[in-house]
């Protein structure tokens, strides 16, 4: 088993539709330039962790000014600018000691790493989308909302969206033992 205490530095950053959709045909569902700028600001200078499908979907690889870690089972995988991890345990090892590392998708990687993250940076997009990948339902007994932006409307797409941050609630163990 993994030791959950070793990863207080791990965050998820994700944009989620009202129906929890996050992607289709290995692509994003919308283009909100303000959200992309915010993604760049938050992740620049940090480590970003992604699955191989998300890596493949990037218009520009690697993401500049960031350490790019790519998860794949393929032992032969190698690509310029990608550090490769073959398991969740390997990822947790690779980011140990960093101030903050970001899980940037996609669905398979979010699902597996959600149990280990401390913080969620969610862009909620208030429309339903036809999709083939979804973010898990956020359990509000596990993650508490710590900040919420005003409601914005993207001038190009007309989509309404909001930035919400969640923090893992202290467990009974951490409340007692610190």
Ligand X SMILES: NC(=O)c1ccc[n+]([C@@H]2O[C@H](COP(=O)([O-])OP(=O)(O)OC[C@H]3O[C@@H](n4cnc5c(N)ncnc54)[C@H](OP(=O)(O)O)[C@@H]3O)[C@@H](O)[C@H]2O)c1
Site string for ligand X, 4-33 (x = CB under 6 A): ----------xx------xxx-xxx-----
Residue 172 Cβ vs ligand X, minimum distance, rounded to whole Å:
28
User: Does 46 contact ligand X by CB under 6 A?
Assistant: no
State the minimum distance, in angstroms, from the CB of residue 72 to ligand X.
Answer: 3
Name the one range near ligand X by CB under 6 A: 60-68, 69-77, 138-146, 163-171: 69-77
- DSSP three-state, residue 6: helix
Smallest gap from Cβ 117 to ligand X, in A, equals 14
Residue 136's closest CA among 21, 32, 35?
21
Q: Is 51 in the site for ligand X (CB under 6 A)?
A: yes
Size of the site for ligand X (CB under 6 A): 29
> How far is Cα 27 from Cα 45, in angstroms, rounded to an integer?
24
Per-residue binding letters, 115-134, with ligand X (x by CB under 6 A): ------------------x-
The CA distance from 161 to 154, in Å, is 8
> CB count, 10 Å around CB of 9?
18
Residue of 12, 48, 109, 120 interacting with ligand X (CB under 6 A): 109
Q: Is 86 in the site for ligand X (CB under 6 A)?
A: yes
Q: CA torsion sign, 171 to 106 to 65 to 39?
A: negative
Q: Which residues contact 11 (CB under 8 A, 6 or more apart)?
A: 100, 101, 102, 103, 117, 118, 119, 120, 121
Helix (H) or strand (E) holding 38: helix 33-43
Q: Which residues bind ligand X (CB under 6 A)?
A: 14-15, 22-24, 26-28, 50-54, 57, 71-74, 86-88, 104-109, 112, 133
């Amino acid at each position: 088993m993994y030791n959950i205490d070793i990863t207080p530095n791990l965050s998820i950053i994700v944009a989620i539709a009202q129906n929890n959709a996050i992607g289709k045909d290995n692509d994003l569902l919308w283009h909100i330039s303000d959200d992309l700028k915010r993604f760049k600001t938050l992740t620049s200078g940090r480590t970003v962790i992604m699955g191989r499908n998300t890596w493949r979907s990037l218009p520009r690889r690697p993401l500049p000014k960031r350490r790019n870690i790519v998860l794949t089972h393929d032992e032969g995988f190698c690509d310029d600018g990608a550090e490769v991890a073959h398991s969740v345990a390997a990822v947790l090892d690779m980011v140990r000691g960093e101030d903050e590392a970001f899980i940037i998708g996609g669905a398979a990687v979010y699902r597996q790493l959600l149990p280990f993250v401390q913080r969620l940076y969610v862009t909620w997009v208030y429309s339903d989308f036809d999709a083939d990948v979804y973010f898990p339902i956020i359990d509000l007994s596990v993650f508490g909302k710590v900040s919420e932006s005003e409601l914005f409307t993207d001038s190009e797409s007309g989509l309404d969206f909001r930035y919400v941050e969640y923090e893992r609630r202290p467990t009974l163990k951490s409340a007692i033992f610190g």
